[in-house]
Structures are given as structure tokens and as C-alpha cells.
Amino acid sequence: MLLSSTEQTLLVITSALIAHLVFNRWEPTNVPILTVLLIGIPCALTQAAFIDIGPIWRVVCTFALYHASLATSVLIYRLSPWHPLARYPGPRLLKTSKIWMIRLARRGGQWRYIRALHDVYGPVVRIGPNELSFCDASLVVPILGTQGLPKGSDWMGRAMHPQTPSLIALRDPVEHQRRRRTWNRAFRPAAVQEYLPLIRKRTAQLLDILAKCEDQDGVDLAKWIRYFKYDFMGDLVFGGGTEMMRDGDVDARLQQQRAGVAMMVVFAHMPWVAQLAKNLPAVSRKVTELRAMGRNRAADRCKAGSQGKDLFYYLANEDGSEKEAPSEDVVLSDGLLAIVAGSDTTSTVLTSAIYCLLTYPETYERLVEEVDNFYPPDEDWCSTKHHADMHYLTAVLNETLRLFPILRDGSLRAPWVGHGDCTVGPHFIPEGTQVRLHTYALHRDPRYFSRPDSFWPERWLVAAGAGGDAPAGFAHEPGAFIPFSRGPSDCAGKALALQDMRIVLCALLQRLAFAPPRGAPFDEWKAEMDGRFANSAAVFTVSVRVRRRD
């Protein structure tokens, strides 16, 4: 029996509403299922809908009405009081789709925007259809601690859902704990000391290069630190193979890495898109090239075997500590993680520290005085024996990490699928909801840190009772300081990162002196640097003048 025009329209709309119920309940990402829901159903409806018009217009009208009804239903539900996150405040636009946050992330300003949202809406903000951002120190342990939430799906999305995820993407706490044992051995204190020759070699090379720039003006210190960290991580992870400080980025590896990471940002916000994108070479090319680069270098290191106790020595179980050696896929996947995580992160912190020191000359002079006290010209700058007593150096690094944390947007977490809803503190978290403790907002919250946007290393000395009396209203909450995350999924290499940064800063300040370029008024140069660091998370330049102190 033929349906009336009204009935045909209602059939299409009802089918779209049923599809929405399927998406809402099961969130399918399987390509065949998505094809059925988004293409198959409207194709079938063309046999019963709009039969009074030509075949081409019948298809067009059916598809348009079906998808318009589906989109309208989704938008109404996400903005409705029946949505599980309806009680949480946030901009309406962000509640409807993650597209708006992707645009911000691509431009590099997501972390500033989310902090501004917390300033307006308070400690908890809904920043996506199913995502919450928290700025509350009391939730650090409930979210990140041993009994906290597992990883979210963003890291799997970044890597386009590989068969063998790297350590940072593992969501299963039991599997993460098993895989983490290898990394813990690789970064235990004794192992970190074994890496000192690698640090010494590359830091000495950096010092020589910068010393040769003495007669130049406007030396890009950030570029040389990036090259230094990439060469060092190449030595540490793969036993060598890169010479960027000598040859530059001749193979465009840093450009490739940067392009791949930028594309990963998109997939992190929409992990389900990564399921589709990995089948589209034109879309996934940058991420695929980055993963291939890391896997190829890891494969070469596997074939070459151990030349010493580098990071790969432990990742590949060459020390024989594990009863069962990890699969080749696990080793290759973790090797890529190490080179990306180790080079971009600490190079950014080191560059940020130099920027802060140069824009606050009195702080620079005080740190140089401490370095000269512990590392006079005849003292080995690579020795770590004085680090524990260099309280101002520790304060400078802590303050840099507070202002410019490595993961400014924090680590995404979510209730374990299949285990139901949960609560963190007083907040109800429905299953399927992504949550993050926003590190940048937390570190710059005036409730936890006085003068939150100022570079003030002395705050750490005052808090420790070694910097005089605390000023009136002084706020300092150590529990809100999470530059390396917290709990069982914190940064595995934080001990090496801190040792590396201490050694490099001591070496640079013992051997070299830095200043703004000639002819640049300090106020103008500082304003330019402030603008660069306020609008970028990783890629920037720091123009300086270098001279030898000896």
C-alpha cells in the first residue's frame, strides 16, 4: 500500500531518530555499521519516500531529510536537560560538537581558551558533547591516582587505533601496569646514571656550536635546543642515527614530526574519525609517515642489536629481566613514543626556561650566581652531585614547568567501558564521558598560586621555608602542581627529564652568557618574546646574543 506524503516524510524522520538512538547507545565506529546507518538506511528509504518525483531528486530529498533529521535530533539532545552532562555549565557551541575545539587546537590556542572558560564558568566546564574539564586540586588523586580513571580514547585516536598501541595509549590498567615495568627499569636511578655519557656528548656539542656563534646576532637558541634534544633522544632510544646539530634538519624529520603531531590533534578530539581516516591515505598520510619513520628507526635498532645500555636495551628486553620478551610490534610502537615524547617536551621546557631567565634579568643573575658557586670553571658541569643542593635551580625549573607545563591540556581520562558510571569527588561522570584535569588552568589558578601569571621562582623557596616570610595572602598548593601528571600513568621519564634539564642549564650558564640581540631595546624584545610564548605551545624562536664566559 502506498504511503501518503506525510507518512513518507514521517518514515524518513522516524528512521533517522532510530539511527540516533543506535549512535547514542552504542557509539559504533565500525566502518560497515556506519555505512549502513549513514548510507544504507537512506538508500533503502528511497524505495518508499518521495515516490512522486524523479529518481535523482528522490535520492537527494531522502538523504537530505534523513541526515537533517539525524543532525537536528543530535543537536537537540546535546542541548537538552535530558543529556547526562546537562547540569554542567559551558558554552552552547561546545556542547553541540567538537569541531569548534578542533579549530582552536589547530591554531594552538586551545589551552588558553579552556583556562578562560574556567575563569568564567568555574572549576568544572563542559567543553564537548561528552567531555568535561576540571580545574580543582582536590580532584587530582580521584582522577589521576591509583584508584582513579583509566586513560581516555584520545591517544588511540591520535595514533589512528593501531593494533599494538604504545604505552601512553593503553586504557586497560592491568596491561598498562605490565608494560610499564619495562619503562620503570629503564628510568630507575641506576639506569638514568648510565645515560650520562650520552648527555655529556651532546651537551658538549651544543656548547661548542653556541660558542662559535659568539660574533653573531639574533642566534635562534630554540632551534639549537630542538636539534640537541632530537640528537640526544636518537642516541638514547635508537643508539644514534641523527646529527641535526651538525647537518641541520636535512631529512625534514622535525617538520615531519611536527606535521604528524598537528594532525594527531584532530584525531584526539574525534577518535572515531581516526577509524575512518586510517583507510583514507590522503587524510592519514602525515600521521602514517610519522609512525613509519619511528618504526623504521626502531626496526634498524632491533637488527643492529645492543651497543650499550640505551633505552632500547630495556624496551627490547635485552637485559633479560622479563620472562617473555615483548613482541616486535610492542617494541616498535614504544620506540616511536620515546622519540616524540622525549624530544619535543624537554626542548620546550628548556627553551621556556631560557626565555623566562632572560626576560627577568634579576632571576638570571641569581641563578648564574648559584651555578658559579657549585660549578666554578674547573668543575665538571655534567656531574650531578650538587643538584640536590641547588635549590634556586630547582625553583626555576619548577616555576617554568608551572607556567609552561608539557601537556598544557592535561591527560584525558574516562570511566572504564562496561563498568558503568562513576563519581570523582562530588561530580557524577556517566560512562562514555571524557574528563581532563586542565594542567594549564590548574597551574595558573590564583586559589593555588599567588601571582599566578608571573615568573616568580622565589615562591618555591618561600613555600619550603627557605625564602623568608610569606607575603600576606600567600597561596601555594603543591597538590595542584602536576607537570608530569600523577599516579600510575604519570610520565615514565620524568627523572631523566629533570636530570637532563639541570645538566644542560648548568652547562649553558657556566660556559656561556646570553642577552637580547644588539640594537633591540629590552622592552621591545621582551614584548616580542612574551607574545611568542603566549601564543604557542611548542614551535617558537628565541633570538639571543651569545658570548663565552671564559
- Binding residues, by number, are 491
Give one DSSP letter per residue of 52-104, joined into a string.
TS-HHHHHHHHHHHHHHHHHHHHHHHHHSTTSTTTTS---HHHHH-SHHHHHH
Residue 154's CB is within 10 A of a number of other CB atoms, namely 25
What is the three-class DSSP state of 241?
coil
Overall residue count recorded for the chain in this entry: 550
Q: What's the CA gap between 100 and 113, in Å, rounded?
A: 11
Binding annotation for heme: 491
Q: Residue 100's closest CA among 129, 132, 79?
A: 129
Give one DSSP letter per residue of 225-283, joined into a string.
HHHHHHHHHHHHHHS----HHHH-STT-HHHHHHHHHHHHHHHHH-HHHHHHHTT-HHH
Which residue in this structure is represented by grid cell 556506519?
A: 34
Q: What's the CA gap between 181 and 314, in Å, rounded?
A: 10
Burial of 258 per CB tally in 10 Å (0-12, 13-18, 19+): middle
Q: For CA atoms 277, 283, 289, 290, give the dihedral sign.
A: negative
Q: What's the CA gap between 495 and 511, in Å, rounded?
A: 24
